[in-house]
Homo-oligomer: A and B are copies of this chain.
């Protein structure tokens, strides 16, 4: 009996246990949780999101940047080029957020963020007005789960390195089609 108990205990701990996971199928809830995690971040936020134009999320990122959180933000070139309102990316850059653009022909279709190396957001949810207010989306949040976060950080680092600063800035200078983008001012 004791042996069985110990065995079960070991299994209980060796299985990956998450402190909390949350699943939403509602854009407004996805946004609310994303903003909450951004507001609560203390050290780092690493973001790889295909598309972004949602002001409340951008504002939360700007506030996080202002209080010293180190933010790395990767988005896809097609979305910057297509956006009618690129001011969000310009605002992030102006505020000193480390912005890179995925410049390869293949889409960077990922939608994930890692907050403080502990909490992961993911799913189908882009950080856009459509995703928040119109589409049917699923977003998932794994809160306080360093192991799961580490898996995602590894993926993020690869994406970040593939779009190194030089490559990303070259594209911003040569290919941007967005009037208010800083690279078109010079």
Residues of chain A touching chain B, judged by Cβ–Cβ distance below 8 Å, are 5, 8-9, 12-13, 15-21, 23, 25, 50, 102, 104-112, 122-124, 130-131, 134-138, 140, 148, 151-152, 155, 158-159
Residue of B105, B106, B140, B158 touching A25 (CB-CB under 8 A): B158
Q: Most chain-B Cβ atoms within 10 A of its Cβ — which of A8, A112, A159?
A: A112
Chain B proximity of A77: nearest CB distance (Å) = 12
B124 touches A50 (CB 8 A): yes
B25 touches A110 (CB 8 A): yes
Residues on B with C-beta less than 8 A from A136 are: 102, 104, 106-110, 159
Residues on B with C-beta less than 8 A from A16 are: 17-18, 20-21
Number of copies: 2
A148 touches B21 (CB 8 A): yes
Using CB atoms, name the residue of chain B closest to A123: B122
Q: A9-B12, A25-B155, A25-B158 are in contact. Are A122 and B106 (CB under 8 A)?
A: no
B124 touches A109 (CB 8 A): yes
Residues on B with C-beta less than 8 A from A21 are: 16, 148
Residues on B with C-beta less than 8 A from A134 are: 105-107
B124 touches A23 (CB 8 A): no
Chain B proximity of A40: nearest CB distance (Å) = 20
Residues on B with C-beta less than 8 A from A20 are: 15-16
A140 to B20, CA, bound (A): 16
Q: Most chain-B Cβ atoms within 10 A of its Cβ — which of A12, A50, A124?
A: A124
A158 to B136, CA, bound (A): 11
